[in-house]
Amino acid sequence: MRYDFGSDNTAGMAPAALDAIVRENDGFARAYGADDVTARAADLIRERLDADADIRFVFSGTAANSVALAMLAWPHEAVLAHHAAHICTDETGAPGFFGSGVGLVGLPGFSGKIDPMALREALAEPEVGHRQPPAALSLTQSTEYGTVYTEEELRHLIEPVKLKGYGVHMDGARLANAAAAGFDLKQIARLGVDVLVFGGAKAGANCAEAIVMFDKSLARRVDNRLKQAGQTASKGRFLAAPFLGLLESNAWEDGAAHANLMARRLADGIEGGSSFVLAHPVEANAVFVRMPPAAHARLNALGWACYRFDDGSVRFVCSWATQEEAVDDLLAAIRGL
């Protein structure tokens, strides 16, 4: 396909990330994450977040989320999340696998954001011996439907969870897009998030993600946990180097800002020049469109990759590599439907 709007995973590595791998490939380095590249990349993440934290780099977002949740909940407990969250819909039970039985409880809410009342109701349910009680909350920023939580919205969700003594995880696979949309990364630790997955792959890295543990007690024997899970890289510098390149050059933020801009261009063109309507607010790099199956099939047949999402709308995702020409050509194809 000439242009792919199916996912921001379909784009290649951003030049800054790829160049960093090539640069850091020179010579020798200590193994298993004890190298200078890993240390420098971790420092840059701490700088972005304005927080002290223990950081580890892993091979995938699924593993990062699942290992993080296993830190916050025992096997006989559960994690509360939006019902459309990636951990609930696209990780094949990995949180339960890595957490030796940790459960997931899906909560409702418009456009990927957890409804505060639904959360409070879940927290107020009596604990009984026949089901897994909640022990943690998982939040996604930006959400699976391309919306961005405000600081105030997050506060209303995190505070009641913290009052119960539960942990908080944030899936930041598209955190760069949230930051580009105006979300202040420095608020994450201050709001009470215990462990964050700092996204790399969708921001232009290879398949690398970073687990950021603000609660340093979670880091106890974390290297043993990651080794057992097959997430310890012998040549760790090659997981950290893409982050180093993206963060040193600001390509992590700049690429996300470009992706968001392309999504806005696409959304404006659909709203202003087609018969279709948007299904959700466009705040990051994804556009969801109400489109009949026949029109969607025709678009796919013309060579445009886009997928029908959980709510029935068709999702178009922009990335650091999306071109204005591609957006305009897609808009012409949509108008032709």
Mean pLDDT to the nearest integer, 245-267: 98
Q: In this predicted structure, what is the pLDDT of residue 250? A: 98
Q: Which residues of 163-197 are buried (b: 16+ CB within 10 A; e: fewer)?
A: eeebbbbbbbbbbbbbbbbebebebbbebbbbbbb
Q: Is the pTM of this model over 0.95?
A: yes
| Helices 116-124/151-163 angle, 10° precision | 0
Specify the pairing of strand 195-198 against strand 307-308.
unpaired
Q: Is a pLDDT exceeding 90 seen at residue 2?
A: no
pLDDT tens by residue, 152-163: 999 999 999 999
Contact between residue 185 and residue 179 where contact means Cβ atoms under 8 Å apart? yes
pLDDT tens by residue, 319-335: 999 999 999 999 999 99
